[in-house]
Amino acid sequence: MPSQRPSAASESGEEERAFLQTRVALFWKVIFFIVLLGCALGVIGAVAKPGGDLVFTLASTANAGILWWLCRRGQRSIRFSRVVEGGGLLLNATMSAPLGRYLLAGFARDHSIVSAQAFLIADSYVTMLQVCGMALMLAIRAALIPSTPRRTILVTALYGVPTILVTTVLVPTAHGGLAWRALDSGAYPELPATLAMMWGFAIITCAVISWVIYGLRAEVREARRLGQYTLEEKIGEGGMGVVYRATHAMLRRPAAIKLLLPERAGEKNLARFEREVQLTSRLTHPHTISIFDYGRTADGVFYYVMEYVDGFDLERLVDEDGPLEPARVIRILAQASGALSEAHALGLIHRDIKPANIVLTERVDEPDIVKVVDFGLVKTLETSPGDVAVTNADAITGTPMYLAPEAIASPDSVDARSDLYALGAVGYFLLTGQHVFDAPTVVEVCSKHLVEAPMPPSQRLGRAVPPDLEALILACLAKKRENRPASAEAMRVALLACADAGNYDVAAARAWWADRGATIRARSKAKRAVAHAATMAINLRGRAGDRG
C-alpha cells in the first residue's frame, strides 16, 4: 500500500481541526442511532425475558450518545477528537465484547442446546453476526473519519482484541450462563482462530477504505494549494475571474486570490488579466485593495494575490440597513475619492465604480474603512496601441446603472470625470436606497443617463437632505464633464467641507459596527457561502513566471 506524503498527513490548522471534530461527531451520531435501533429491538424482545444483553446494549447506546454530545460542543482540539474517537471505540468494544457470549447463552437456554456440536454451531453463528456488526462499525469509521491507513490498522486491530479475548475465555453453559474456561482445555479450538482470521479481513477492508479516502483528501488539499497559499471558500466571481479566500502557509495571513476563469483563458483575456494586476499593483492608497503577488501556475492558469477584506460591499449595506445618514455618506465617499485620486494621478481610471465594488470593513483602531476593489476594467488615460486592443475601447464597459453619458455615447473617451459620475451615482444610492435611474431594460437606463436629469435625492426621499451634499452629488451627475468636480481630489475636499462632514465620527462608527456590523457581515458570508473546499482541476505543484 503506497505511503502518504508528509504534507498530506499533516493534521494541523483550524480547517483540519474543525473537519476532524465534525466527522468524529458525525460518526458517533450514526453509531448512536444504529445502537438505539438495536436497543429498541432488544427492549421488545426483553419484555418477557429481561437479560444482561439488554444492559450491554443500553450501555453502548449511552456511550455513543455521550461521545456525540461531547464533539458537538465548542471547539475541540485535534487531540481531544482523536481521544474521543479511539478511546470511545475501545470503551465500546469492551462493553460489547461480552454481548455475544450473553446472546449465545440465551440462545442455548431458549433452545435447550446441550451437545458440544450444537454449541459449536451456535457459537460460530452468533459470533459471526457479532463480528459482522463490529466490522460494519469500523468500516463506517474508516469512511467518515480522516485517518492514515496505518492508524486505521492499529485502531481496527485493537477494537477486535476484547471480543477475541472474551470469546477465548468465556464459554456459555447449558443453563444460560457463562463460565470461565482454561485456555488449554481444548474446547472449541477453532472459534478463536476463525474469529482472528475474519477480523484480519476486516482490518484489511478498513485500511483500504482509509487509504482511498485519505488519499483523495490529500489530492484535494494539494489541488487547493497555490504556491504558499491554500485556497478556501469562494467569495466572489466577476467578468474576468473567480476569487477565493486563501491563507498563507507560513504567515497564516488571510488573502484573496483571483484566478482567470478557464473558459476565458484566451490570449486576449489573459493579456487583459495580466495588465489588470500590473496596473492595480501600482496603487498603494490605504483605501485601495493591495496586491501582494501574481503569477501563473504550472499549467498556465494566471492568478494574483491581494489583500483580504473581511467586510461587505455598499450594496449589501443598503440592502440590509436601508439608506444611510448624510454624514456617513460623506465619510464613505471621501475615502473612495481618495483612492480614485491616487489612481487618476497615476493615469488610471476604474470604469466600474459601483456599490458592489466598494467594500466596507473595520480595523481594530478604526471602523468604517472603505476599500475600492475590482480594477478589472481599469483603463490608462494615456493608452498605447496595444492597450487599446486589449481593452476593446469601442465596447461599452461598466455597470449600466452607474455609467456616465460619455461611457455610453463614446466609450473610448472616458476619463477621470467618468469615475466621478459613477461615484456620484453611488452617493445617490447610499442616500436614497435607489438607483439614479430605473427602467425595465438596459437600453432605457442608458437612454436616461444620456438625456434625463436626475431627480434630486431630497425629492426622491420626500425629506430634506443637506443642500451642500445634494448639490455636490448632482454636480457629479452632470451630463457634461466640465460641470462635474474637476478631480477626485477636488471632490474629496468638497465632501470634507460639507456641514455634516464631522457628524459621523469614529465613536458613532464603532457603535454601529458593534450593533449592526457583525450581523450584516455574518449574513453576507452566509449568502455567498459555497462548498468550503475549493475544487480546481489544475496542476498547482509549481508556478511558472512568478514575479517572486
Q: Which residues are catalytic?
A: 352
DSSP 377-423: T-EESS--HHHHHHHTTTS--S-GGG--HHHHH-GGG--HHHHHHHH
First-to-last alpha carbon distance for the chain, in angstroms, is 38
Closest CA to 292 of 346, 260, 255: 255
Residue 229 has φ and ψ, to the nearest 5°, of -110, 145
Closest CA to 110 of 173, 170, 176: 176
Q: According to DSSP H, which parts of 287-325 are helical? A: 314-321
Q: Which residues contact 338 (CB under 8 A, 6 or more apart)?
A: 285, 286, 287, 488, 489, 492
Q: Which three cell numbers stand for residue 111?
A: 433452545
Q: How far apart are CA 455 and CA 65, in angstroms?
A: 64
Separation of CA 170 from chain center: 52
Q: How far apart are CA 446 and CA 158, in angstroms?
A: 73
Tell me which DSSP letter residue 324 carries: P
- Residue 480 CB burial class (10 angstroms; 0-12, 13-18, ≥19): exposed
Q: According to DSSP H, which parts of 322-374 are helical? A: 326-345
